[in-house]
Amino acid sequence: MNDIPFHHSLHVLDDLCKGCTHCMKRCPTQAIRIFGGKARIFSERCIDCGQCMAVCPNHAIEIEQDTFEQLQAYTYRVAIIPAVFFAQFSDTFTESQICRALYDLGFTHLYLAETGVDILNHLHVDEPNHTSMLISNYCPAVQRLIQIRYPVLLENMSRIRPPAQITALFARSELAEACDSIGIYYLTPCAAKIAQIKTLGSEDNNLFQGVINFDTAYNKIRTMLTKNKKSYEDDNTTTFFFPLCTAKASQWSLVKGQSSNKTGRTLSVDEMHNVIEFLEQLEQEEENNLDFLELDACAEGCPGGILTVRNRFLATERLRHWSKSLPSQLPEYLIKRIDKQKDILMENLYLETPQPKEILKLDLDRAKALHKLEKVQQILSVLPLIDCGLCGPPTCKALAEDIAKSEASIRQCVVLKLKDPKELNSLAKIWGERTIGSTVQKDDQA
């Protein structure tokens, strides 16, 4: 179901927003405009990377999340936990104590998301009919970016399910034998994963019943471990309940974590603006010698997610340190569990190729689009090209495109207004009116 609309997890709180433009200038897809002194997110451009939330000084951008209370709707309550979650805690707290706290919060079963990496390796899963450069589908923000901005690269996207989906399939398959009331929740460091899970009809939406944000889970667990320090220190025998993956798989969410599992020539690029810069060049090249491309929206990979609470470099170090205590091979008991569910897993390994979301074009009609493109160039010739952002869009080019699509007015340019108001009136009559929602500003009213 590739034609379903994106769900978005980020929303502007008007009562807190001061229209400061921090979010607008930081947004990598120019999805934000300032109207009436408030930020507005254009949903068709938003990829839920969370860059806007990370830089907002007024905490005016909120993020969607589920609550622990919702777990009680299910008999079996499963947590799919990325390994980087444990790295949010200092060495004061052990991984076993963190797991015990998760059980105390209501979960009945814990699985590591990275166990999916080991499952895929154990099943010797190969990419179907793929001979050219392969692009990882692990980061949902990057996949959305490619869908709306670089659709020609979609045929290069991996079709193998990401590890968390594989783990969710594995968990449901083996638990369904004992219970049919199963709620699977993903602990996430990233806004894009929330959006992916909440997109109705998506693969993640079908697999997961909810999502818990890293910062929320961290704060609850840290409070429990601190207030009840003695009781959690008294018993460290719960290793039996501890989810497991191999040392190599545990580093999957770090930069080069995926590349290290691939053969041939690989490249890893992290941080969304770097990703965009690289993809701009990649789209123009006729050929390259890469076999695998790993792209991460966040700096340092998942440790840099906007919902993480610990410095990304310290979190990366702890995760690498913890991985040294993990086995290099899966234990026999886990291999037997995987083999038992092999048939179901093998039937559900692959995803459909994601389809483009053609929303950034000036017009769906090619002739009209070319006309509007010419109009954009004409408008740019009279704009100051200083990208001050005072007009509402982030750049002069963005303003010109909005004007060409009848979504803005040349009157919004403050520099032109100060330079020669009469000339601005003449230009406004040429380029048309400004339309925002149902409000139209007539040219002859200025």
In 10 A of CB 64, how many CB atoms?
A: 17
Task: Please tell me which residue, 354 or 82, carries the higher pLDDT value.
Answer: 82
Residue with tokens 């777990």: 71
pLDDT tens digits, residue range 357-378?
766 667 767 788 788 888 889 8
Q: Is the pLDDT of residue 414 over 90?
A: no
Q: Is the pLDDT of residue 444 over 60?
A: no
Average pLDDT of span 116-124:
95
pLDDT tens digits, residue range 166-175?
999 999 999 9
pLDDT tens digits, residue range 48-100?
999 999 999 999 999 998 999 999 999 999 999 999 999 999 999 999 999 99
Q: Is the pLDDT of residue 383 over 80?
A: yes
Residue 114 pLDDT grade (very low, low, confident, very high; cuts 50, 70, 90): very high
Question: What's the pLDDT score for residue 397?
Answer: 92
Question: What's the pLDDT score for residue 1?
Answer: 43
Q: Is the pLDDT of residue 298 over 80?
A: yes
Domain ranges, ordered by start, for the chain: 68-347, 361-446
Q: Is the pLDDT of residue 445 over 50?
A: no
How many Å apart are CA 255 and CA 295, to the nearest integer? 9
Cite the DSSP H helix spans in 199-271: 203-207, 214-227, 229-234, 247-250
Q: Is the pLDDT of residue 417 over 60?
A: yes
Question: What's the pLDDT score for residue 39?
Answer: 95
Q: Exposure of 348 by Cβ count < 10 A (0-12 exposed, 13-18 middle, 19+ buried)?
A: middle
Q: Across all residues in the chain, what is the average pLDDT? A: 88
Cite the DSSP H helix spans in 12-122: 22-26, 51-55, 95-104, 115-122
Average pLDDT of span 151-174:
94
Question: What's the pLDDT score for residue 430?
Answer: 67
Q: Is the pLDDT of residue 440 over 80?
A: no
Average pLDDT of span 2-10:
80
Question: What's the pLDDT score for residue 369?
Answer: 78
How many Å apart are CA 226 and CA 249, to the nearest integer? 30
